[in-house]
Amino acid sequence: MSEIVIPYSPRKLQKFLHTQIPKSRFNVIVAHRRSGKTVMCINHMIRDALTNTQPNPRYAFISPTFKQGKSTAWDYIKNFAKNIPFVKFNESELRCDFPNGSRITILGAENDQALRGIFLDGCVMDETQNISPTLFPEIIRPALADRKGWCVFIGTPKGQNYFYKLHKEAMQQKGWWTGVFKASQTQILDKEELRSAQNTMSEDLYNQEFECSFQAAITGSYYGAIIEKLEIGKRMTSVPYDENLDTETWWDLGLKDSTAIWFVQRHGDQIRVIDYEENSGEGLDFYADLLDSKPYKYYRHIAPHDIKVRELGAFGKSRLEIALELGISFDIAPKLSIEDGIEAVRKALPNCYFDKEKTAVGIEALKAYSKKWDEKNQCFKNRPIHNFASHPADAFRYGCTFIGGQKTNWKEPVQVDTSYIV
């Protein structure tokens, strides 16, 4: 049999990780930009796929979005696997099939319903800091159970979010390993390049992207600084349901992706965020039952303007009409620009109290909601990243722009009552 040559020459860090990863079932790799972690993981999967003797081995490389996975990982897979005899590449599904029956697929985390029901021998979660904290425990971990598959989490810090928690937990859990690899230590990027990056980027951004700092402020975050003040001011606490107050819900309705719902009560200027729900792949009947299962007395439900659009798959009915048939009467949020909506949220947040436990997933999304970084021009783009944070942030924005049927006037000064601490 002729030898298969993979066009891959691992660097020192990559060699170390190839040796380290098989020692633990779950690995959390915190590494600086351009460290070669994606290339290393792709080649690790290819090697495992070729040597796996189980029937029909399955592997997944999961990015925050399908588009991102295509741009970052797909070309790598094709380049490194192209010399394998009888290998097949499916461009539409971003799937690589090997002659022994193994398969590697690029998947996007934004449509978690497409990931349900699969089984996996191995998995890489790329840019983990931008992936929903529910994806691994609810979907990927069960997918690994049958074959006792492995998972590698890779990324760079983005505040003390889910990726940070994974990193900390990996230090304590049996079968887990974690490592932090800073640009100043790996010497992969030369000093001149790092000096140039340091001169171009803010201190927080540089420390986050190249020195792997979880303590640096979340760069580009729309609400991170405000939420940090809320945490310091003990606004993330226990916020019980008040039977004497009506409840309103703030929605972002997804079709194939997530639907996010905030449950809110108002008392004077206070906005008490008492609950949060998120799901995907479900129809409006599911959410009607969800509302009924809660003990809350509803005052109104706020939805985005596109709920009025008629859909062919629903016999020409809009989701607004379908919801009304199910007993949910929606008020429509004003059609504002994203920029104006973000300002409305910034205006409202200082008046908010969040139930720390029931809204934890939603809070993390608001923290992570941030601007896109333009690598070419070394600046932030004036639009948000589309990832797990988008739907919760959009739902919150629609609620904040709908105040008594009028859009929020964020230019007026606000008086905040700090006495409501449970």
What's the helix, strand, coil split of the chain in %, to 5?
Answer: 40, 25, 40
Q: What's the confidence (pLDDT) of residue 311?
A: 61
The DSSP secondary structure of 145-175, one letter per residue, reads: HTTT-EEEEEE---SSSHHHHHHHHHTTSTT
**Angle at which helices 360-368 and 390-401 cross, to 10°:** 90
Q: What per-residue confidence (pLDDT) applies to 73?
A: 96
- d(CA 226, CA 249) in angstroms, rounded, equals 22
Structural domains of the chain, with CATH: 12-209 (3.40.50.300), 224-401 (3.30.420.280)
* pLDDT tens per residue across all 422 residues of the chain: 467 788 999 999 999 999 999 999 999 999 999 999 999 999 999 999 999 999 999 999 999 999 999 999 999 999 999 999 999 999 999 999 999 999 999 999 987 777 888 999 999 999 999 999 989 999 999 999 999 999 999 999 988 889 999 999 999 999 999 999 999 999 999 999 999 999 988 888 899 999 999 887 777 889 988 998 999 999 999 999 999 999 999 999 976 668 999 999 999 999 999 999 998 878 899 999 999 999 999 999 999 988 988 664 555 688 899 999 999 999 999 988 999 999 999 999 999 999 999 999 999 999 989 887 666 666 777 788 888 899 999 999 999 998 644 433 333 443 444 443 33
The SS3 assignment for 137 reads: helix
Rg (CA), the chain: 23
Alpha helical stretches, state H, 171-234: 183-186, 191-200, 203-209, 224-232
Longest Cα–Cα distance in the chain: 78
Query: What local confidence, expressed as pLDDT, does residue 2 receive?
Result: 61
Query: Which secondary-structure segment (H or E) carries 301?
Result: strand 298-303
pLDDT, position 296 = 97
pLDDT at position 281 is: 79
159 burial class (0-12, 13-18, 19+ CB within 10 angstroms)? buried
Q: What's the pLDDT at 414?
A: 39
